[in-house]
Amino acid sequence: MKKRMLAFGAIVAAGALALTGCSGSVSSGQSSAGGATSLDWAIWGNTPPEIASAEHIAGLVHASDPNLTVKVQTMSWPDYWTKLPTTLAGGNPPCLVSMQMGHVREFADSLLPLDNLLASASINVSDFDPGIMKALQVDGKQLAIPYDLGPIVLYYNKDMFKAAGVAEPQNGWTIDEFVADAKKLTSGSNYGFTMDNSIEPLMDWAPSITGSLPVTDDGKLAINTPEMVSVMSWYAGLVNKEKVAAPVIASPTSTASVAFLGGTAAMYANGPWEMINNKAQAKFNLGIVTLPAGPKGVTGPIEGSGFGISKKCSNPTAAIKALAVLTGPDALAYMGDIGRAFPARTAQQGSWYKNAVDGSKATLEAAMKNGIPFRATTYWTQDGLNYSQGVVSVINGNSSAADFLKGVQDQSQSK
């Protein structure tokens, strides 16, 4: 009896020891063994082409310094913004954090200001597009080095245009032309346009229609203005009045691209970063054109993203070196080449044009000429959530834009 108990106890103890051995790295976001350092890097985009692209440029870091390895952690776009606060608050946050300009204010407290570190890694600020550099600053402090930028453009299905006998759109076309074409393309179970319930479209169309954004310069929400109500009413009207887009649902993931890539919607608005997914998944001829222009002409917010270093990173020296390679000429030329990102480095932008669909250079240059920097509120994730919950009934024609926008403004903490 006693022997059996002893044997049993020994097995349990051995098991417990084995389990404690399972816990891996110790310090935050990086681990060292001998001279080798390994850094964790969080980035969104978990379609196979996107994961491959992240792994590739992480490999460039290792090639430049065999003692430095970057471990990629990817997740889908909406999940990223939910998971990031929890990850950063936890005990082992990643050293390298991908940051979109829309969310940089929200995470300002968790990111290390990079201004003093740039020289040590030979990062030259003037190599990058000034607009996106500024967009990744909060209160004058550079919180991330940009890797991509882009205006919102309109992707369209050339085959559907041809089948409906509609001439292809030209850069600089107007909203009236857009609605007229969309009506001709809407028949049977196909629609001319596709949209979903996210807050970005309001930002995309507002500058061209009214010349303003629903966010002030210092990050406060101003969505309840008459200008924004008119933009919202027009946008919702595409579904409930003109009937050129399918009614929307509330969804935790974006469903707008489903109709476009499935061939049941002829036009779809997004940025240059979608080129990689669109080219991979579209079974039709892909076209690109500027977003239809309202009374204020071709203008819109320039979005973009970069990589930053979390404040809790215990090896910022290694992190900034990795950052220099991840945003270096080779990495960004590669990203542009495969259509994953329109490079934030001015000299490398040609690579994206080379492999994008015909007409992309003209479209992007026209779209960016009068672009304005995107700005977001301090609680952008929550504002976006409040918006996306309630906008469904506005778009589907069941409630008024004015009441809805007032509700979003009242509920916001960013005012």
| Contact between 283 and other proteins per CB under 8 A | no
CA dist list (Å): 53 to 48, 72, 147: 9, 10, 13
Nearest to 211 by CA among 226, 224, 227, 225: 227
Question: What is the spatial distance between Cα 179 and Cα 166, in angstroms, rounded to a whole number?
Answer: 12
Contacts of 201 (CB under 8 A, 6+ apart): 195, 235, 269
DSSP letter, residue 137 = E
| Contact between 246 and other proteins per CB under 8 A | yes
Q: Segment contacting other proteins (CB under 8 A): 96-104, 146-154, 221-229, 384-392?
A: 384-392
The distance of closest approach from Cβ of residue 16 to other proteins in the complex, given in angstroms and rounded to an integer, is: 10
| Contact between 247 and other proteins per CB under 8 A | yes
Nearer to other proteins, 124 or 413 (CB): 413
Selected from 89, 119, 163, 347, the binder of other proteins by CB under 8 A is: 89
Nearer to other proteins, 56 or 243 (CB): 243
CA angle 313, 42, 110 (to 5 degrees): 45
Contacts of 283 (CB under 8 A, 6+ apart): 263
Sign of CA dihedral 39, 330, 301, 142: positive
Element of type H or E holding 337: helix 329-337
| Contact between 230 and other proteins per CB under 8 A | no
The distance of closest approach from Cβ of residue 11 to other proteins in the complex, given in angstroms and rounded to an integer, is: 10
Selected from 185, 286, 291, 392, the binder of other proteins by CB under 8 A is: 392
The distance of closest approach from Cβ of residue 79 to other proteins in the complex, given in angstroms and rounded to an integer, is: 11
| Contact between 244 and other proteins per CB under 8 A | no
Binding track over 257-276 against other proteins, x by CB under 8 A = -xx--x-xx-----------
| Contact between 86 and other proteins per CB under 8 A | yes
Q: Segment contacting other proteins (CB under 8 A): 146-154, 271-279, 354-362, 387-395?
A: 387-395
Dihedral, 12, 13, 17, 20 alpha carbons, nearest 10? 70
Q: For residues 159-188, which are near other proteins according to CB under 8 A?
A: 188
Taking the alpha carbons at both ends of the chain, their separation in whole angstroms is 71
Nearest to 238 by CA among 401, 406, 409: 401
Tokens of 102: 């829309």
Residues that bind other proteins (CB under 8 A): 1, 5, 8-9, 12, 82, 85-86, 88-89, 110, 188-189, 191, 194, 197, 246-252, 255, 258-259, 262, 264-265, 381-382, 385, 388-390, 392-393, 396, 398
